[in-house]
Structure formats: C-alpha cells, structure tokens
Amino acid sequence: MPGNIIQWFPGHMAQTRRVMKESLGSVDLIFEILDARIPASSRNPEIEALSEGKKRVVILNKADLADPTETEKWLKKLREDGCEAVAVDSKSGKGKEEILSRAKQLMREKLERNREKGMSRPLRAMVVGIPNVGKSTLINRFAGRVAAKAENRPGVTRNKQWVRAGKELELLDMPGVLWPKFEDVATGENLAMTGAIKDTILQSEEVAVLLCGRLKDRYPALFAARYKLSDEHMELEPYELFLAVGKKRGFLVSGGEVAEDRCAAVLLEEFRSGLIGRITLEEVPCGPSV
Ligand code: G4P
C-alpha cells in the first residue's frame, strides 16, 4: 500500500512549475490553501520554491470540519514560523474578511507606494493548493457567484481565470495542478482519509479501518458517541472496531457478515461531512510546520 501512494503523480510538478512561473509576474501575492484537518499533509513542500519569493497568506480551509482548539494551535505555529495564517470556512464564507486584511497587512509597503503614485488597483492573488482543498469554493465565495471551475486532471492546464472580488482584490485560480507530495506513509493516509485523494487509489475499506484507528486514538469520545460504541469496543484493534461499527449500524450481508464496502463508504462519508464531529487528524509538530 505505501508503495502505491508514494509512487503517485510522477512528473507533473515540472508542468506546474512552468505554468505557475508564467503567471507569477502578474500577481502580488499567493493565497496558499491547506486543509485545516491535515495542514502539513495538504501542503506541497515545493510551494516555497514555486512561489519564487512572492509573499503568501496561508489559509486553513474547511475549518468548520476541524477541531477548533487544534486549528488555533496550527495558526499559532504557522505565525511563529513567520507566515500570515487564517482559518476559513469557504462554504459559509466565515473568516474570508480576515484573508483580505492579512493580505493588505503583508503588502502594506507596496500598497503605500502605489497610493503615493496615485495608483489604486486591487491586490492580485494567485490561489494555490492541492486538488479538493477548496480553491474554487473560496474563489466563488469571494466573487459572490460561480466563477471558478477546477480541472484537476493530470496534464490539463486550466485557462487563466481572473476573478474580481470586490474593489480591493482580484484572484487568479492556480494554473496547473499542485499535486500533494507523499513523503511518508502517514501523509498518504491523511490525504486518503480526508478524501483529497480518491478512494480508487487505496481501497476504501482500508482507508476506513485507518480512520477507525485514528479516531480511537485522537477522538474516542466523539467516535464512541456517534456509533454507540462501548468501552470494550474502544479496546479493539482498528479492523475489529470497524466491524463493530458495521454491526452497530446493521450493515450486514446474508450470513451475518459485515458488508465492509457499505460500512466503509458510510464511515468515510460521515467523517468527511463532519457528522462524527470536528476532527483534526494531524497534530502540530514540535519543529517547523513543514
Ligand atoms: P478545489 O477547487 O481546490 O479542487 O476544491 P473545491 O472548491 O472543488 O472543493 C472540494 C470540496 O470541498 C467540495 O465538496 C467543496 O464543497 C468542499 N469544500 C470547500 N471548502 C470547504 C469548506 O470550507 N468547508 C467544507 N465543509 N467543505 C468545503 P464536494 O463534495 O466536492 O462538492 P459539494 O458538496 O460542494 O457539491
């Protein structure tokens, strides 16, 4: 399994680097979107090099699905590491205003120079992030309409698309695709559990069992409450726990066996839509955040 994940996406970074480079000259800064539930795993470690010195606002998106206490810790860590960082729920728009104020703060010298020259044009930001992290949703939220439509297939370069977001901001959907980079097994697992990589890469049963293990370790009370699991259940190994969930929910085939595919689909769907609770899968590291 780990081999499969780590070997994914050969060679697309070169194309991304090229198309991003072509557009960097026309933006003032970068909005780097991460998934608040897995901030490190959803960050492409090459973003620093790809940004070519442009300033970045780091956006922890899907904050509505993440544990608020953990999100605060991540924001603190990112800010300690020298980033402007904001938590956002792009679906509702919560936190959106802070992105603009952080961007203006980052670019204050340039804005001041422009003002002195009598120039007043909106700030231009390129929105970058791995597929499914919420780039289109955020852009549409800023635009107040459906403006962005992402094309996440390898080898497909999206058309350049500027979106006006009020008087002070213009957004550019990232050209090219910033694939995630799995440098270790845990990163691949985190991306699979949140749905950033599709369940065809890993078997969904496998991903659901991983999720049971993670929920047992990190959010036992939420997990037990959702599936009415007893203390004895919570002592079980992840696979047995997964079967216990299936039995509790009545996902059985004739003969009384658990219908593993159905159980996995429901577990993953309920986790991804926040029904189990607000869950962060990745802890703030002690060293640098990436
Ligand atoms: P992308 O452009 O980066 O590829 O991501 P996109 O905006 O398409 O978002 C991917 C999925 O994540 C979408 O769900 C979207 O609704 C959801 N999403 C984006 N931002 C947020 C957020 O802040 N909170 C929550 N809870 N979800 C968010 P989908 O299932 O693919 O589509 P749909 O459910 O919107 O129809």
Which residue CA neighbors atom 17 of ligand 1 most closely? 134
Residue ranges of E strands in 20-101? 29-35, 55-61, 84-87
CATH number for the domain spanning 134: value is 3.40.50.300
What number does the ligand 1 atom closest to the CA of 90 have? 23
Give the Cα separation of 255 and 223 in Å (integer). Answer: 27
3-state secondary structure of 172: strand
Give residue 10's pLDDT.
Answer: 52
- Whether pTM exceeds 0.85: yes
- Do 142 and 20 share a structural domain? yes
- Do 130 and 218 share a structural domain? no
Q: Answer for the pair 32, 128: CB distance below 8 angstroms, yes or no.
A: yes
Give residue 156's pLDDT.
Answer: 46
- Do 146 and 224 share a structural domain? no
Give residue 183's pLDDT.
Answer: 76
- Do 85 and 20 share a structural domain? yes
In a domain, 190, yes or no: no
Domain boundary among 158, 173, 188: 173
- ∠ CA 142-88-148, rounded to 5°: 35
CA of 156 to the centre of ligand 1 (A): 20
Which residue CA neighbors atom 4 of ligand 1 most closely? 132
Overall domain count for the chain: 2
Indicate whether residue 140 lines ligand 1 (CB < 6 A): no
In a domain, 286, yes or no: no
- Do 87 and 217 share a structural domain? no
- Do 219 and 135 share a structural domain? no
Indicate whether residue 64 lines ligand 1 (CB < 6 A): yes
In a domain, 285, yes or no: no
- Do 208 and 141 share a structural domain? no
In a domain, 36, yes or no: yes
- Do 113 and 32 share a structural domain? yes
In a domain, 51, yes or no: yes
CA of 62 to the centre of ligand 1 (A): 8
Count the alpha carbons within 13 Å of 45 in the hemisphere toward its beta carbon: 10
Nearest alpha carbon to residue 104 among 58, 59, 162, 168: 168
Indicate whether residue 134 lines ligand 1 (CB < 6 A): yes
CA of 13 to the centre of ligand 1 (A): 23
CA of 134 to the centre of ligand 1 (A): 5
Indicate whether residue 51 lines ligand 1 (CB < 6 A): no
Give residue 2's pLDDT.
Answer: 43
DSSP lists the bridge partners of residue 257 as none
- Do 210 and 108 share a structural domain? no
> At how many degrees (to 10) do helices 135-143 and 96-106 cross?
90
Domain boundaries, position 9: 3-173
CATH number for the domain spanning 256: value is 1.10.1580.10
- Do 167 and 71 share a structural domain? yes
- Do 121 and 207 share a structural domain? no
Cα 25 to its chain centre, rounded Å, is: 26
In a domain, 183, yes or no: no
In a domain, 193, yes or no: no
What number does the ligand 1 atom closest to the CA of 133 have? 3
In a domain, 182, yes or no: no
CA of 131 to the centre of ligand 1 (A): 10
- Do 104 and 10 share a structural domain? yes
Q: Can you give the pLDDT of all 290 residues of the chain as single tens digits?
A: 444 444 445 566 777 888 888 889 999 999 999 999 999 999 988 888 888 899 999 999 999 999 999 999 999 999 999 899 999 999 999 999 999 999 999 999 999 998 899 888 899 999 999 989 999 999 999 988 666 555 554 444 455 678 898 889 999 988 777 878 777 889 989 999 999 887 566 789 999 999 999 999 999 999 999 999 999 999 999 999 999 999 999 999 988 899 999 999 999 999 999 999 999 999 998 766 55
